[in-house]
Structure 1
């Protein structure tokens, strides 16, 4: 019988419920406690799940004093940095919800802390567990497209603006970039094998979120609801990126990978005003290539599945804790994602292209 993995959960909002349910579906996991800065909220969170014996704290550092194998960090974006550092330095392995951090400097320090302490820091990008996402990466990594030189990625919701902590810069750090843009970037970067970003030229805006006709919290809305960027990656790859929480359009188009031997078009799944971004499943995949001198297009068979990809990422974290393996989605990979988001916001503010400077870690 495998040993019992002892888990703590920091933050008890909506996303924390997904973590808790995933852990409860595993026989070898015990949720030891939870923490939330709102008085009484952690206790309510645990009791509602029938975990009356688990300990509740208002200060996450008290939770970190317990004997824990790992923690899920499900707090607002701005607290990811300090909470993660506290957990790693307390000797705990960490599953951190996306986005990794608010700034690139924070992400660098978090990655370095994981390496220095030897404690795992894995970031919660569950779309990677969709079998179709894995197929896309396989097609590209096996060289079916030849040399990939141009990628276009991103998505847009006709209406899909959240509220609460998501729209306040003091808590979220960023808006659509941090919420759904990071998924699109991870889709592209991971499929390409994580090439290093070099420069970014970008624009952002928030015409919809700040308009009372479109958002009930317009007076508090101070993050971006749209962004577009031109990104240079190492290896001579150009990445065109776009994301939107709201727009007067049905779609921002499919994603595409252009290679010297073939091209791949990918559409997101889902219908309705909140669909159209890469936090969901893959819709269709089509390979464009030449066959016997003729233009040809070949649909790639979509893999039907009933996987709960959110639960899969939590399971993978527990598996790594159980067998001592490496982080399933290591911080060192997501560092590039955070570097691009940081560059997009800096470029938009400066009104010009900016360089991305990354240290050599580890």
Structure 2
């Protein structure tokens, strides 16, 4: 069987941590190229992962070699033009979150993906965690009854990334677009992907740039990105989202806040029959008139590896992925509404 010819677009940290190791180790993949305008960084990655060729642009690559699938690991604002060109050429895509920075762009990608019959997947890595899959099983078997409230949050005390993340022109937003997208997607997906009807959001640059001793500060793997001093995005975001089925989701995310830090993404689901929490991993219910709770035990897995393996199989078999472009579009729709609500100080209604 002919191998899937894969190229990586963007040579930053997420490509190195979450994509390249698993493509390299997959028996059905040939890593044919890596693209980045920083050719020194691209060459380093080429040597480390035995990639056939390096290019400074997507156009240069596709005009030179055949590519079956790409992982798009660029700054957020570059997702759309690269994904658009790839899909128009019939190339399958895995796009890092968020799919795009605007709902209009997301809809265009969804349309062309359907027309070209390409696999289009969004990098919602948390969906591939074993503990999350366990929660999903409880929801799908009706153990919670009707879910009417969900909370999703990840609050960092001081965890603002450097580089393009704080430049709205390149990132589309701050903490909301960076980590809020994961929290929102996970709560929404676990609750059954209901249709949103209204959004109220509040975004704040509360802390801004800071210098704190004795703590780790995330830096870009590409030196050029660390020199960007622009900070015109929020470092705290909260939202209240209503859905057609009566569910509401409360979202809280921060890069920096004067309060306790969450050690990971937290999701809570509350239903008429039972409730679930991701941290701690537990099911809450009432039995025989007595309150009870059950600790769920699962083996920890590598969600990045599972995500990449799933994309490979989806592309090879032209099958719908676990985190399809349709979901990415709906999440961008909600993210954009949160931003607009915060700017207008009004609730945004879809219906």
Q: Give the TM-score of the pair, scaled to structure 2.
A: 0.90
How do 1:217-232 and structure 2 match up within 5 A? Answer: 220-232=230-242
Post-superposition offset of 1:39 = 4.5
Checking the alignment, whether the CA contact within 8 Å between 1:286 and 1:297 is kept in structure 2 is no
Post-superposition offset of 1:184 = 0.6
Checking the alignment, whether the CA contact within 8 Å between 1:126 and 1:310 is kept in structure 2 is yes
How do 1:207-356 and structure 2 match up within 5 A? Answer: 207-211=206-210, 220-251=230-261, 255-267=267-279, 284-294=280-290, 296-305=291-300, 307-356=301-350
* Equivalent in the alignment of 1:46: 46
How many correspondences in the alignment?
336
The superposition leaves residues 42-92 of structure 1 with CA deviations (integer Å, 9 ceiling, x where unpaired) of: 3343134333xx222112022223212101111110000111000000110
Counterparts of 2:302 and 2:95, CA distance in 1: 18
* Equivalent in the alignment of 1:55: 53
* Equivalent in the alignment of 1:95: 94
Counterparts of 2:43 and 2:212, CA distance in 1: 38
Counterparts of 2:154 and 2:54, CA distance in 1: 39
How do 1:180-191 and structure 2 match up within 5 A? Answer: 180-191=179-190
Counterparts of 1:230 and 1:145, CA distance in 2: 21
Give secondary structure in 2 for the equivalent of 1:21: helix
Cα 1:291–1:344 change in 2 (3 A) is same
Give secondary structure in 1 for the equivalent of 2:232: coil
Checking the alignment, whether the CA contact within 8 Å between 1:197 and 1:339 is kept in structure 2 is no
Counterparts of 1:60 and 1:190, CA distance in 2: 32
Q: Give the TM-score of the pair, scaled to structure 1.
A: 0.87
* Equivalent in the alignment of 1:106: 105
Checking the alignment, whether the CA contact within 8 Å between 2:156 and 2:255 is kept in structure 1 is yes
How do 1:13-162 and structure 2 match up within 5 A? Answer: 13-18=12-17, 19-51=19-51, 54-65=52-63, 66-162=65-161
Give secondary structure in 2 for the equivalent of 1:220: coil
Post-superposition offset of 1:251 = 4.3
Task: Give structure 2 stretches of 5+ with no counterpart.
Answer: 218-225
Counterparts of 1:322 and 1:218, CA distance in 2: 39
Checking the alignment, whether the CA contact within 8 Å between 1:230 and 1:238 is kept in structure 2 is yes
What is the aligned-residue RMSD (CA, Å)?
Answer: 2.1
Task: Give structure 1 stretches of 5+ with no counterpart.
Answer: 268-283, 358-362
